[in-house]
Amino acid sequence: MQVAAIQMVSGTRLEDNLAAARALLEQAAQGGAELAVLPEYFCVMGHKDTDKLALGEAAGKGLIQRFLATAARELKLWVVGGTLPLQTATPERVRNTTLVFDPSGACVARYDKIHLFYFDNGREQYHEGRVIEAGDTPVQFDLPSRGGHTWRVGLSVCYDLRFPELYRAHASAGADLLLVPSAFTHTTGQAHWEVLLRARAVENLAYVLAPAQGGVHENGRHTWGHTMLVDPWGVVLAEQDQDAGVVQGTLDPERLRSVRLQLPSLSHRVL
């Protein structure tokens, strides 16, 4: 199955970000992708954390959700909408939510980011918990590919990558593809991004597809990028370092089966 991970350098204006995302989704479709995954915060990288609140949508309604559904239907793609802000019962909080749309434009899965990023090295400070309400439930969905193989897909977002127990829960549920839409900072990404992605692939014997924000943003933030596709042996199959673009590659069910037969570590778990 052909897949695409979309790298963006999102700005502060929703309409501009949606236009950029549409062009990249079209590029993915033209390249033969069946699944295209947008990065975290694809719809906005605001000047302030609270900028997300004004864009918060009710589940099943709103401009961003219509955009994703329309793109999936018109391009005949499975589209994973990175993350977008969904409203909560508290006006001062939103969920940082991944939505999955099938090629008919129907929303078939929702994952609310569980782990909220906090980082303070004296020069940079990030505290997602100020405006984001955490989710609490791992989510998988099934994607029947054109080639006849049904892929079990586990959802995660950015900072989740540092918590291997989430990915083990996906593996226990039968996941063979792990998605990690992200907006890693340049500082933390340079240190840990690739090693964590490859570790999640190796320890769960699964493909990992990780679209990212990658560049210097209008708000001054610098994200690491390095969108990549990693195979179940930890081999990086495709990667883009910085700037907007589409990273495409092939998921091979026979490769997955072969690796899991050669090293059946998932069946050797004790704890």
Q: What average pLDDT values come out for the chain (271 residues) when binned by 10 residues? A: 98 98 98 98 94 96 98 98 97 97 98 95 90 98 97 98 98 98 98 98 98 97 98 98 98 98 96 87
Per-residue CA distances from 253 to 2, 145, 232, 235, 265 (Å) = 12, 11, 11, 15, 18
Query: What are the two backbone dihedrals, phi and then psi, of residue 4, each rounded to the nearest 5 degrees?
Result: -140, 135
Quick check: 31 and 73 in contact, CB under 8 A?
Answer: no
The CATH homologous superfamily for domain 2-268 is: Carbon-nitrogen hydrolase (3.60.110.10)
Structure tokens at 186: 């340049």
Rounded Cα distance, 246 and 249, in Å: 10
Q: Is 158 designated active site?
A: yes
User: Could you tell me the residue ranges of all domains in the chain?
Assistant: 2-268
Q: What's the pTM value of the predicted model, to 2 decimals?
A: 0.98
Q: Which of 34, 52, 57, 113 is catalytic?
A: 113
Q: Which of 43, 128, 133, 158 is catalytic?
A: 158
Q: Is 48 designated active site?
A: no
SS3 214: strand
Per-residue confidence (pLDDT) for residue 121, from 0 to 100: 93
Q: Is 76 designated active site?
A: no
Q: Which of 40, 57, 128, 133 is catalytic?
A: 40
